[in-house]
Structure 1
């Protein structure tokens, strides 16, 4: 029986990572959990995000995964080290891969970061960027109105454009040449963000670099999937299954089956 890669997120945002894993590692089976009943994580206290992440990991461990991917920037910022200390399999987040991609891309050394309140207030991206390149200049902006748009499937509309335009107004007067989409929900809004910021600004999603990290770790551990059969992925969510399925199928461009959850989501609210 093939061991899956477990990917978790506060909602649909981690599908951006799942899609890239499916592209780069087509033989790997994915078990995905979106905590759509309790999204967004950004405004929540750190200890609550840690508790939610632990609960999801405990659920996913029942599927005997060979790796856990915390495909949520807020959960990565707050819970990554805690989860690593509790499980024996590799656990990776999305902050350092995104920071590395931005350092490789920037020409000016001026990098913008947009994310949830939790991610921005944690300073996780600034720390990761400065660790890689101490002399970069980082401008961070919280965009709390983006995740609710994505969770409703509202990727391109007048409301979306106006929300993005208002949220990013301050960034347009800065010297950045690279903008990290520091929430895995934000690539769903990439076209609108690019329209607002201008095509000269490079948009960085952590998905591609995260998938590369997954490939490297599994290769080093001799755990890459073998054989010619393509896997059947499993998806589950804690909230409205129909909305999740609609967004997932639109983003992944394929039909999916939702796995019924035999776990009642605790502590919703």
Structure 2
């Protein structure tokens, strides 16, 4: 398997498909998944002639099951090492959910010339947890519940999330795909319990406000109005005004996992944004 080894000895698995002389799109997955969550996007953009790259975040998928470094600064540093190792230049970075936070932190700190654009999809910025500074956020008890469920029975928890709110399969009239549920479970169970436990704090408690303000490249923000995992009112609607060159597009009734449930719609809008950069 293709991997890089980071400065602290962590092996990061990655996929790197397509022509080296084409535009580069880098995909960043959400918790607790892997690069496989981007299959529908990577195959689509490969057919469009792009070079597509996706990695398994440390502690997730086929990367090392790390006990340390499971926080946003290290996640972003891992991306920087991957970008250097693969010599990624003028890349477009696309992040979903936790991956959107990773993109925000990496892009805000990236070396000049590494990034041309970014996309945040159902992304966790600016900050998820409720506080005096963020009164509309979710109570810490929600994330404590995630941790308790993971520790008590990770295998069952990783059935319940995709079968319910992640893809909106708990909504009346939803067309449930058992294959999608099983694939979510498969990806989640590939990773390390300790790293995924720690990542709950990383995606819920990290404040990305300064990162968003620092990003100078164009950023497309995509979010479903029925996102039950990362509610739009406390994420995209707050992130967009903080960006210097942000564009917000919302999708009525779409769930958190809309890249999987509605790939044709999302891929079309991503393509339009990507082509505009050429």
TM-score, normalised relative to structure 2: 0.39
Bigger relative contact order, structure 1 or 2 (CA pairs below 8 A, ≥6 apart): 1
